[in-house]
Amino acid sequence: MKRADHTELKGLPKSCWMGTLKWDEELANMAEYYGLSCMLIDGSCQKTENYPEVARSVEISFNITNPEEFHPSETLTEMFGTWLESFNNAPNVANLVSNYENGSWYKGTQIVWAETTRIGCAMTKQYRPKERLLNEVLICNYADPGNIEGSQIYETDCSKPPPEEDDRSMGCLVKRTTALIVVLVSLFAT
C-alpha cells in the first residue's frame, strides 16, 4: 500500500475558515469502548448526553504476524493516509467540496469537514491466535458530524466573512491534517 502524506491534499481547493480541530477525551473514550466491546454490534454505544450524534471512521491494519515487528507510528500514519487518499476516488473533488455526496471518500471528507471541531480516537488491538495475526484498529469519533449530503465541506471563497457563531480562523487543510497526524502519532506510538 502506498503511504499518503499531507502533500496529497494539494489537489483539493483552497480552504477558508476551517474550525479548529480539538481533542476530546469523551469522544476518545467512546472510540475505545467501541473498539473493545461493540465494534461489530450497532452504533448505539456512540451516543452520550453530550454527544447524541457523532461521526466515526474505522481503519483496520490486518496481518501483522509478528507483534515485535509492529511500528505504531508507521502503521498509524499509513492508516490515516488511507483516509486522506480516499479523495482520489471522487470523480470531481471541487464539486464534492461544494456539494457533498456520499461515497468511498467519506473518511477523508470527515477529517476536513469545517464544522467538525472535536475529535477523539483510540487504537485497539485484536489478536487472532489461530491465525497468529495481530490487527490494529484505529477508531476516530468526530463532533459535530459532517458528511451531510448536499452540504459544503468547507468554504473556498475567502472573500466571504467568517461565520460569527464560532472561532474559525483562516485555516488550511495541510495544517489541520498534519497537526492531527502529529497528535495521533504522539498518543498511540508509545
Q: What is the DSSP string of 17-67?
A: SBPP-EE-HHHHHHHHHIIIIITTS-GGGG--SS-SS-EEEEEEEEEE--G
The answer to whether position 61 is within a domain reads yes
177: in domain: no
Asked whether residue 180 is domain-assigned, the answer is: no
Torsion angle of the four alpha carbons 3, 7, 13, 18, in this order, in degrees rounded to the nearest 10: 100
Q: How many domains, in total, are found in the chain?
A: 1
Residue 70: CATH number of its domain: 3.40.33.10
- Is residue 2 very low, low, confident or very high in pLDDT (cuts 50, 70, 90)? very low
pLDDT in tens, 61-119: 765 656 666 666 677 778 878 888 888 888 888 899 999 999 999 988 998 898 888 88
Phi, psi (deg, nearest 5) at residue 76? -60, -45
Contact 121, 178 (CB under 8 A): no
Residue 147, pLDDT above cutoff 70: yes
β-pairing, 22-23 vs 55-64, is: unpaired
pTM listed for this prediction? 0.76
Q: Is the pLDDT of residue 149 over 90?
A: yes
**Residue 11 forms part of a structural domain:** yes
Q: Does residue 157 belong to any structural domain of this protein?
A: yes
pLDDT tens string 160-188: 877 665 545 545 555 556 666 666 666 65
174: in domain: no
188, containing H or E segment: helix 173-188
Q: How confident is the model at residue 8, as a pLDDT?
A: 45
- Structural domain for 134, as ranges: 3-169
Q: Higher pLDDT residue, 89 or 11? A: 89
